[in-house]
Structure 1
Amino acid sequence: MKKVLKIVLFSILGLVVVAGVLMWLEFGPLVKGAMSAEKIDDGLYYMEYKGDDGFDELMKQGGAKDATEISTYIISFLSKGHYKPEIKPAKTDFGCSALTVTTPEGGVLMGRNFDFPSAVGVVLHTIPDKGYETITTFNVEFFGFGDDYKPEGFKNQYLAQASLFCALDGINEKGLAIADLMAGDEVETHQNTNKPNLTTSAAICYLLKNAANVAEALELLKGIDIHSDIGSAHHYAMADATGRSVVVEYVDNKMVVTESPEVANHYLCEEKLNVGLKEGDDRYDRLCQRYDQTGGVMSEQQLTDAIADVSQPERKGFLGTAWTMVMNLKNPSVTYYSRRHFDKPLRFELTRK
């Protein structure tokens, strides 16, 4: 009897161990990613993820053309198909600004402000099994996980890894930097040419994962159908380690590329030049003045001062600048400043550069 019981218990233990190993193989990277979350300043959190980022499978399935489709895929990835909760992505708009310069030593820097009525930012450092290492940022309030959601506590930290598929800005190990900004009107882009679909924010993750420079990013954009997030027009600010900086806009569902180191929240392409430029908004002009005064050559501190100068203070119903980034494209790294705390730099480096 004792011998039989012993055999049964060891068999059960073996099954438990095997089940545990299989469970860890399936969920281990996500569990480790969730456990890495930490608050680094008011309204800003940092996480690291290493493993299969799920993006290749998303593209094999044809991508996602709207918030509902991308949300469905995200939950499937995070739960490995075991759970399907309801997500109600937020719909709103935001302002921003960006500037790319060279340094006296020949480096390349890109600064960027993300301005919004309300935000909880997650800085996600991703080292995927396939593709380039990236550091990206996303306002996780956009996911609609609930009022007062913050990536604190294991459940909420786990959910924050939805940012693997959505980014508002970021940099990769090759020194490609991309930021999403509102373009100036509410004309949505919805390309329907039977190519894989991606929303504006998902495309940033895709480009940073697969493109080494601006030229490669533009080629990748030609191979997908872009769909506007949050019911508004968007444009991308892109720059790379060669110093090339462009603004990518969409007019009548066609991509238009304008070479420019400065960008804010109005169109820069000839087809819609200055559409969306509001009276009294001089952020773009101030960036141009700073650039012209230095001939486009600035130290990191000078760029930080320039981008801080056009950051927006908090006012009633508007948080202002949620985060500021200063990205080094020749030596891929990024310094964050949360909520205009310019005396508190938060620096992160890409390890595979």
Structure 2
Amino acid sequence: MVGMAALDRARAEPRPGRPAVGSVGVLRLVLDRARTVDEAVALLGGHYVDFGGGPGLHYLVADANGASAVVEFLDGKLRVTPRPSGDHWQAMENFPLAAVAEQARSDHDRYRAVASRLTGVDGRLSADDAFALLAEVAQPHTQWSAVYRPGERDLLLTTGGQVHRLPLGSP
């Protein structure tokens, strides 16, 4: 699974000899070719992610084994922030996770709200509770919210107040 969030500071250096892919097109690449977080990180690191034609983004990748990581391109370099050991959840917001110490992340209101709630329930929320939390921290311009359920092999996506279930296919 791969999600994205806007990150104005995202910038990757052109990498001679490595194929270029757009900042949104890289999502398709990861979904088509990676089965694990390690494979997704290797794919992202093996390409030049071009943010010139679209928004600066960072990515949260997760796999069916429960691994996850936030992948960012800061100062032209790939930065990976794995899920902290012992946590059953990982979140990202519109600030560079790799550039902010874990203790200082709670300075960001939206991140603090998500972290507090997920820590309190050991990362386990029903889909309805997850959508309620996402609605609580949504910004006025939020277009969609997504709840990934690797155990059920599906994605729940809400747009315009409607929830859509998208099956993720066979393992």
What interval of TM-score do these two structures reach, taking the shorter chain for normalisation? 0.7 to 0.9
Aligned length: 161
Question: Equivalences for 1:132-151 in 2 at 5 Å?
Answer: none
Contact conserved, 1:188 with 1:232, CA < 8 A, in 2? no
- Deviation beyond 6 Å, 4+ runs, structure 1: none
Residue 329 of structure 1: how far off its partner (Å):
1.2
Q: Which residue of 2 aligns with 1:330?
A: 151
2:5 corresponding residue in structure 1: 181
Q: Distance in 2 between matches of 1:290 and 1:346?
A: 24
* Aligned residue identity for 1:329: P
2:7·2:96 contact (CA, 8 Å) conserved in 1? yes
Distance of 1:224 and 1:267 partners within structure 2: 20
RCO greater where, 1 or 2, for CA within 8 Å and sep 6 or more?
1
Please, what is the CA RMSD of the aligned residues? 2.3
Work out whether residues 155 and 165 of structure 2, in 8 Å CA contact, stay in contact via their aligned partners in 1: yes
In the TM superposition, what is the alpha-carbon distance from 1:224 to its structure 2 partner? Answer: 1.5
Counterparts of residues 91-130 of structure 1 (less than 5 Å)? none
Say whether the 8 Å CA contact 2:60–2:69 is kept in structure 1. yes
What is the aligned partner in structure 2 of residue 253 from structure 1? 76
Once the two structures are TM-superposed, the CA of residue 352 in structure 1 deviates from its matched residue by 3.7
Partner of 1:190: 13
Unmatched tracts of structure 2, length 5 or more: 84-89
1:214 equivalent in alignment to 2:41: no
Q: Percent identity, aligned pairs only?
A: 25
Secondary structure of the residue aligned to 2:32 is helix
TM-score, normalisation: structure 2: 0.82
**Matched-pair contact (CA < 8 Å) for 1:184–1:267:** no
C-alpha contact (below 8 Å) 2:22/2:53 kept by paired residues: no
Taking a change above 3 Å as real, the CA distance of residues 229 and 240 of structure 1, as seen in their structure-2 partners, is: farther
Check the 8 A contact 2:15/2:47 in 1, yes or no: no
Q: Cα distance 1:324–1:208, how it changes in 2: closer, same or farther (>3 A)?
A: same
Shift in Å at residue 281 of structure 1?
5.6
SS in 1 for 2:147: strand
TM-score, normalization: structure 1? 0.42
The unaligned stretches of length 5 or more in structure 1 are 1-176, 314-319
Report the counterpart of residue 138 of structure 2 in structure 1: 311
SS class of match (1:264): coil
**Structure 1 counterpart of 2:94, from 265, 274, 277:** 265
CA distance in 2, matches of 1:201, 1:326: 19
Query: Structure 2 residue aligned with 1:349, among 164, 167, 170?
Result: 167
2:146 maps to a residue whose letter is: M
**CA distance in structure 1 between the partners assigned to 2:79 and 2:127 by the alignment:** 30
* Equivalent residue number for residue 86 of structure 2: none
